[in-house]
Chain A
């Protein structure tokens, strides 16, 4: 369990750390496999997604 202090610290740090994470991911992002246009899956940095799930995230 988080202590209240840890929680406050994480609250303060989140934008900074996640911001740096995102910029890092953006630099390194790669599509690992694109089997074919008809595939229902896409792989990003090793993570396997349903294409339809990604579309939901974007919208």
Chain B
């Protein structure tokens, strides 16, 4: 059933729900569907509607005081039904085994033991959700190129699946899911003993207030809004719900997108199809104590201005300036096309960093919630990962005659600061999973530490971010959580 909270009568009685889920993005929709298929009654709340509106998107506005002066949350995320899947690029890949290991040099605990096994039980279902065959990773082409230090990254591409398009009819017509649009979570009220959630308080855009009760409650609004909401829910617990150990909002992680430099293709066979992506082997990650990554080698299939071509053109331009003769010839040189050069970009794991965090500012949104202040910060360990990866892949490619790499100065010289870390709109880690409540916000089952019936879903629970796009991990963890909730309701 579909309801618009803007048109909802506040006196209307609501059904008794087994589970209330806030956030109708990939995670929330996935959990709702699994519960409904198991015969459970679900209320699914979406702060926006079926289309992007400024009224809803405005709630993402905040301040960025850390890396990169951009409105990270407003620009990266979409606040309407289907969530950020509505502009997802579709790349699917998975965490490696090493990503689940405890890496002391990260300074914080990683995924709890058993996470990998639990997560990958749901691989087939996650693949079906994003419309890729389960065995697609077994069928990826093998390369003639061999190296002990780097490997070609496994990946597959979803069409990409837009959750709004794919699931709108199923959810609209579901007898078990009540979807409420324009329903903004404004408070989580706890029972008097503060050990469990009593009800969700929601508001429409007319500022009418509604209460919804259920056995279990799930917050699935994304890494930034999950933290924003928990920190704003301070009426009963001054530090915010789930924030008894001051961990909500901490360890905000992105994937760095560092421009390592340029390259000239030597082994042309490798780049016949365009961009090739490489990752460090797990042995190299362990040996050098670095984060995981994907390094993209993007050859010029059309003319761009990199490498040798750049040098040639630059000389021609200087020639034009210095002499009056043969100007037209020199100009011609600057227009020449040539293939074989390319640029190197990356997706690099960020280590969990307590100082990289979301807090609240003083400016308030339309519901009276304080807006987000994002202080996204790299650590020394991240700089080591970036420089080590750049140097190692350049050496490896020189050794294996794959390509000739020209590294940027900051990769070679640690005294030159890294000016642009780049980003991927992969926001993770603000309510991290931990065994010890002092290290995170949720437990192994994604239940908020200290609360009996309150769960968090999505990338905010990632203790580490791996070296891959997060969508498949979000889906697999959400599937696992959904089945856990089914067993609890039973």
Residues of A within 8 A of B (CB): 2, 6, 9-10, 12-13, 16-18, 20-21, 24, 32-33, 40-41, 43, 45-50, 53
Residue of B nearest to A48 (CB): B394
Chain A residue contacts of B397, Cβ below 8 A: 48
B407 and A48 contact, CB distance less than 8 A:
yes
A46 and B315 contact, CB distance less than 8 A:
no
B329 and A12 contact, CB distance less than 8 A:
yes
B261 and A17 contact, CB distance less than 8 A:
no
Q: A17-B312, A33-B412 are in contact. List 17 more A-B contacts (CB 8 A).
A: A2-B337, A10-B333, A13-B329, A13-B333, A16-B319, A17-B319, A20-B319, A24-B315, A32-B409, A32-B412, A32-B413, A46-B261, A46-B406, A46-B409, A47-B406, A48-B395, A53-B398
Does any Cβ of A come within 8 Å of B302's Cβ?
no
Docked CA distance A49–B401 (Å) = 10
Q: Secondary structure of the B side of the interface?
A: helix
B408 and A49 contact, CB distance less than 8 A:
no
A46 and B332 contact, CB distance less than 8 A:
no
* Chain B interfacial residues counted at CB < 8 A: 28
B394 and A20 contact, CB distance less than 8 A:
no
Residues of B within 8 A of A (CB): 261, 311-312, 315-316, 318-319, 326, 329-330, 332-333, 336-337, 391, 394-395, 397-399, 404-409, 412-413
A9 and B316 contact, CB distance less than 8 A:
no
Docked CA distance A40–B332 (Å) = 40
Docked CA distance A9–B328 (Å) = 10
Chain B residue contacts of A16, Cβ below 8 A: 319, 326
B315 and A21 contact, CB distance less than 8 A:
yes
A10 and B336 contact, CB distance less than 8 A:
yes
Chain A residue contacts of B333, Cβ below 8 A: 9-10, 13, 17
Docked CA distance A25–B332 (Å) = 22
Docked CA distance A43–B404 (Å) = 11
Docked CA distance A28–B412 (Å) = 17
Shortest beta-carbon distance, B311 to chain A, in Å? 6
A9 and B404 contact, CB distance less than 8 A:
no
Residue of A nearest to B332 (CB): A9
